[in-house]
């Protein structure tokens, strides 16, 4: 893999857009079982809030040194976090984080005991976007897309990507010759048609291709390439590494450097961010995948 200086990614300009999520962590100690039910009692020690969803991808891009812009949507929260402070702490600004009072913020709360994840509670409601908010998001994208190299579509299926927004973003990105990376959700991958690269994990890829797990992964890849028509399909395979398929029929496998994958939480966002900043810095797709594979495994 090519050597890179510390500031190599500083000339990359990345626009990250998608569902905005806040991750809450409640950490404590379990010392006994509840007398009310056979469940552990967590004695709370501390809580913290972090940016999640598409915002976490933006955090990773910013941390890697890229000039990062976040375009997303949230509402007013009753949870005790300071949104401006969360963004500022990560070097991001909220200029293009649209606040809609009708939107209920998405909060994922993870309860941790002695470093172990014991429970997650999702406080969420799928966004039902009105036409005014949709038009505002599209207008912001039209203003921002000219000044970036890479557009990242981070889809968590929480309602940000309406059919109109998704199609407009991909079409405008292609019109202005931008690299469009997609982290997909759901099974209808046809909606991402025409993107530069789409990055499902192995389980997601099989589900979207409607294939049994016994089918060869090459069959899955070919079905998805036909359905989406991207330049590249990158399937992440956990301990097996990554496989890159091109529309021209080329296949490259990238084995992971680790023998065991212990915790995959956040690995997908890290890989996506590494791909985005590497491509934004002018690195070839093959080298970018090597970087993403090494940095997220």
Beta bridge partners of 111: 26, 119
CB atoms within 10 A of CB 143: 11
What are the domain boundaries of the chain? 9-21+52-104+126-296
pLDDT in tens, 80-137: 899 999 999 999 999 999 999 999 999 999 999 998 999 999 999 999 999 999 999 9
pLDDT of residue 266: 62
Are residues 182 and 153 in contact, defined by beta-carbon separation less than 8 angstroms? yes
User: Can you tell me whether residue 283 is helix, strand or coil?
Assistant: coil
What span, in angstroms and rounded, lies between the C-alpha atoms of 56 and 154? 10
Look over the chain and give the mean of its residue pLDDT values, rounded to a whole number.
93
| Greatest pairwise CA separation for the chain in angstroms | 63
Pairing status of strand 40-53 against strand 13-18: unpaired
Mean pLDDT of 171-178: 98
Model confidence at 36, pLDDT cuts 50, 70, 90, reads: very high
CB atoms within 10 A of CB 177: 7
Catalytic center residues: 269
pLDDT in tens, 250-295: 999 999 865 444 444 567 889 999 999 999 999 999 999 999 998 8
pLDDT of residue 248: 92
Task: Report the CATH superfamily, name and number, of domain 9-21+52-104+126-296.
Answer: Ribokinase (3.40.1190.20)
The DSSP symbol for 105 reads P
Residue 179: C-alpha distances to residues 13, 130, 170, 200 (Å): 11, 28, 10, 17
Beta bridge partners of 151: 15, 180
């Amino acid at each position: 893999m090519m050597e890179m200086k510390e500031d190599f990614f500083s000339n990359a300009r990345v626009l990250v857009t998608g569902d905005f999520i806040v991750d809450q962590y409640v950490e404590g100690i379990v010392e006994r079982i509840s007398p009310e039910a056979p469940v552990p009692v967590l004695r709370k020690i501390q809580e913290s809030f972090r940016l999640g969803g598409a915002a976490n991808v933006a955090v990773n891009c910013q941390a890697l040194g890229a000039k990062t812009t976040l375009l997303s949507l949230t509402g007013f929260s009753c949870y005790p976090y300071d949104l401006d402070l969360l963004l500022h702490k990560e070097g991001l600004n909220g200029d293009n984080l649209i606040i809609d009072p009708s939107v209920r913020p998405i909060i994922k709360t993870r309860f941790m005991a002695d470093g172990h994840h014991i429970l997650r509670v999702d406080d969420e409601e799928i966004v039902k976007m009105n036409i005014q908010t949709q038009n505002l998001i599209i207008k912001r994208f039209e203003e921002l897309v000219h000044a970036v190299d890479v557009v990242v579509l981070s889809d968590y299926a929480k309602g940000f990507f309406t059919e109109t927004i998704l199609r407009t973003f991909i079409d405008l990105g292609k019109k202005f010759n931008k690299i469009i990376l997609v982290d997909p959700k759901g099974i209808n991958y046809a909606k991402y048609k025409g993107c530069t690269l789409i990055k499902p994990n192995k389980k997601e890829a099989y589900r979207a291709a409607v294939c049994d797990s016994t089918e060869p992964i090459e069959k899955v890849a070919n079905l998805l390439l036909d359905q989406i028509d991207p330049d590249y399909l990158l399937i992440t395979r956990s301990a097996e590494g990554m496989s890159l398929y091109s529309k021209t029929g080329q296949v490259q496998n990238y084995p992971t450097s680790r023998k065991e994958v212990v915790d995959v939480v956040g690995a997908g966002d890290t890989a996506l961010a590494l791909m985005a900043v590497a491509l934004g810095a002018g690195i070839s797709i093959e080298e970018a995948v090597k970087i993403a594979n090494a940095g997220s495994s």
